[in-house]
Amino acid sequence: MRYIHHLSLLVAAALSFGFYACSSDEEEEKPVVEEHSDFTNANDNKEGSTYVNTEAGVPSSKFVSRMEMPKLQSGDILIVHQATDMTGSPVNYSVGYSPTDHHSRWVAFRFDNDMKARKVARKDYNIRPQYPQDPLCAATVSSDASFNGHDHGHLCASADRLCSREANDQTFYMSNMSPQMGNFNQDYWTNYEGFVQTLGRSCGPNTSSTTSWADTLYVVKGGTINSGNILKTIKVDGYNMPVPKYYYMALLKVKNGNYTAIAFWIEHKDYDTKNIANVNADIAAHAITIDKLEEYTGIDFFCNLPGSVEKSVEAVCLPSAWGL
């Protein structure tokens, strides 16, 4: 089968890339977490996951300690895209990809002083392929594969990544696409995307004239592909792909070493957005704790936080701390 052949190639590639040096993106996490005596990296020595090489020639396994990275699940492929047209080739976004579902389990990224920048426009609609097969993962479906009446819904939104041409173009890879209802993708989901973008672009260092909302915002987005949480399956490129029943966001911010977290659990359906009187109130109505989101999805979010910090911040949901 094509999938088994592709996966075997990925495993072989992962083994061959094991001798590259660590990147600056991995190293930047270490001062944050290693000062805590209870720190354990939940992704250390994780077996059963496949790692692929990044655009900058670094094995994706080098980035598992990043703060936004959920705990990897056995059988998934870790894809890490780097924007090589930016100084230092920063990580653009990461994907936990389920090759058996041909759908991402999650997409993780961050807003900081560099990645929040607005320097380019959205990829031109006339460029083909509009949605390329992910060049780092042959297990993803082919370029511009039809979602059978569903939109190609971004998980890491195009507007999340306007910091460089490459960073924006990478958000159109098939590994970042999820089959979404047109109304949900184009109208309702965009309210949540805009909320995250507003917060993300309020991050960065304090200056003499401004006070930032946070130093960094860590974001994980996804659609449910676990059993019992899908609407149906559709044929994509000859494979069965799940249509998520729910979409979610997990957010973690850090300000002066203090962490705060919140999650959102959103049913995938058509919404009458014209009757939403207050967008922020509607967003707040879907807010839950990270603990509850982990219960719903079976995913361990922000597993690279120090243990005591993770336990405390993931148990609290305080919308007012997020401007809601």
Distance in angstroms (rounded) separating the CA atoms of residues 263 and 292: 8
Task: Tell me the pLDDT band of 14, cut-offs 50, 70 and 90.
Answer: very low
Give the pLDDT confidence score for residue 49 in this predicted structure: 86
Among 211, 298, 293, CA closest to 252: 293
Query: If you average pLDDT over each of 5-19, 27-41, 190-204, which comes out highest?
Result: 190-204
Which is it for the CA torsion 181, 187, 188, 192, positive or negative? positive
| Torsion, CA 271, CA 274, CA 279, CA 285, rounded to 10 | -40
Residue span of the structural domain in which 302 resides: 2-322
Measured between alpha carbons, how far is residue 299 from residues 72, 94, 310 in Å? 8, 15, 14
- The CATH number given to whatever domain includes residue 102 is 3.40.570.10
Distance in angstroms (rounded) separating the CA atoms of residues 313 and 293: 13
Stated pTM of the model: 0.87
SS3 283: helix
Q: Give tens-digit pLDDT for 240-255.
A: 999 999 999 999 999 9
Give the pLDDT confidence score for residue 210 in this predicted structure: 77
Among 152, 105, 142, 136, CA closest to 237: 142
Give the pLDDT confidence score for residue 47 in this predicted structure: 54
Long-range contacts at 31-37 (CB < 8 A, ≥ 24 apart)? 32/67, 32/254, 33/65, 33/67, 33/304, 33/305, 33/306, 36/306, 36/307, 36/308, 36/309
Tally of domains in the chain: 1
Give the pLDDT confidence score for residue 209 in this predicted structure: 73
Q: Determine the average pLDDT of the residues in 296-314.
A: 96
Q: Determine the average pLDDT of the residues in 59-81.
A: 96
> Count of CB atoms within 10 A of residue 24's CB?
10
Which is it for the CA torsion 112, 114, 118, 122, positive or negative? negative
Among 248, 266, 264, CA closest to 105: 248
Q: Which residue has the tokens 């056995």?
A: 74
Q: Is residue 25's pLDDT more than 70?
A: no
Q: Determine the average pLDDT of the residues in 73-77.
A: 94
Q: Is residue 4's pLDDT more than 50?
A: no
Give the pLDDT confidence score for residue 102 in this predicted structure: 97
> Count of CB atoms within 10 A of residue 143's CB?
16
Q: Give tens-digit pLDDT for 283-294.
A: 999 999 999 999
Q: Determine the average pLDDT of the residues in 147-163.
A: 98
Long-range contacts at 259-262 (CB < 8 A, ≥ 24 apart)? 259/305, 259/309, 259/313, 260/313, 260/316, 260/318, 260/321, 260/322, 261/289, 261/290, 261/302, 261/313, 261/314, 261/316, 262/287, 262/289, 262/290, 262/317, 262/318, 262/319, 262/321, 262/322
